[in-house]
Amino acid sequence: MTSNGTLEETLVSAETAMRERLDGFQPEVGLILGSGLGPLAEQIADPVFIPFGDVPGMGVSTASGHVGRFVAGTLGGKSVLAMQGRLHGYEGYTAQQVAFPVWLMARLGIDALVTTNAAGAINESYAVGDFCLMTDQLNFTGRNPVTGTEPDAMAPRFFSMLDAYDPDLRALAHRVADNLSVSVQEGVYLGLLGPSFETPAEIRMFRRWGADTVAMSVCEEVIAARHVGLRVLGISLVSNMACGVEGANPSDEEVHEVAQTRERDFCRLIEGILREM
């Protein structure tokens, strides 16, 4: 994992450091807040802030809009441990480094992970500003965090990815969204390494594969979560139409602008889901 030790040794060090900072706090649910969605962390009550750089083995966020810290506290009546920002392969991190905080949160006691991101819509029935529940994923990063011998010591190397996104949590999210009158789509998410946006030809290919949304995160996190038995709920904010769809030409600025317009409903939706979990 690092020059300082094995994956297991580094996780032990990270867990020890986190427990010292958490001072007895026991998280139930992990949250990963993607591009433009970090403001939800400001709603966490009695927060404890732990910068990624203070945790042994953790990388630091370099993506725009990613604060790069853990926030522990109460949200929606649940004890949560949120990542205000995430790590990406395009930042130069390995698949195991991207997965590391998920394995760490599992060791700290979470049994469910809610991972969120901003994504481009391949499905032309979607609109910019929609929320989309992930029903399945296509991992097109070319990487898997469970490769090698070290993750095999943590949990069995071979594990099922059937229902990688928990059907019960998806049904719960739909109920909450209906009660809040927040419209949500659902579909298959495709993850890429990035950082370049996709070409129109790639988007046409992805559509034929059955992908509805596309972005540069999530897949490796979900593989890591399922590796250690966590239930997963994935939610995308459609921040743009994918390249070439309706003439779209995505930009990073567009992602953050759209997220600002949907911040209130995103917070309502996540808090409502947490209350029902």
Residue 2 lies in a domain: no
> Which domain CATH number covers 120?
3.40.50.1580
Instruction: Please tell me the least confidently modeled range out of 111-115, 213-217, 254-258.
Output: 254-258
Tokens at 153, concatenated: 């010591």
In-domain check, residue 1: no
Q: What average pLDDT does this structure show over 75-82?
A: 98
Q: Give a yes or no: residue 50 inside a domain.
A: yes
Nearest alpha-carbon partner for 37 in 146, 121, 114, 123? 114
Would you call the peptide bond into 195 cis, given omega within 30 degrees of 0 as the criterion?
yes
Give yes or no for a contact between 223 and 139, defined as CB atoms under 8 angstroms apart: yes
DSSP 210-248: T--EEESSSHHHHHHHHHTT-EEEEEEEEEEEPTTGGG-
The confidence score (pLDDT) of residue 4 equals 61
pLDDT for the residue 1 = 46
pLDDT of residue 96: 97
What pLDDT, on a 0 to 100 scale, did the predictor assign at position 252? Answer: 75
Domain that residue 262 falls in: 7-276
pLDDT band at 2 (very low <50, low <70, confident <90, very high): very low
Tens-place pLDDT, residues 229-261: 999 999 999 999 998 998 888 777 777 788 889
Domain-embedded: residue 135: yes
Region 55-84 average pLDDT: 93
- pLDDT band at 63; cut points 50, 70, 90: confident
pLDDT digits (tens, 9 = 90+) for 10-34: 999 999 999 999 999 999 999 999 8
* Residue, of 148 and 36, whose pLDDT is higher: 148
Kindly state whether residue 195 falls inside one of the protein's structural domains. yes
Return the higher-pLDDT residue of 69 and 37: 69
Q: Does 121 map to a domain?
A: yes
DSSP code for 197: P
Count of structural domains, the chain: 1
Q: Is residue 125 part of a domain?
A: yes
pLDDT at 271: 97
Q: Report whether 233 contacts 115 (CB < 8 A).
A: yes
pLDDT over threshold 60, residue 268: yes
- Of the chain, the percentage scoring pLDDT greater than 70 comes to 99
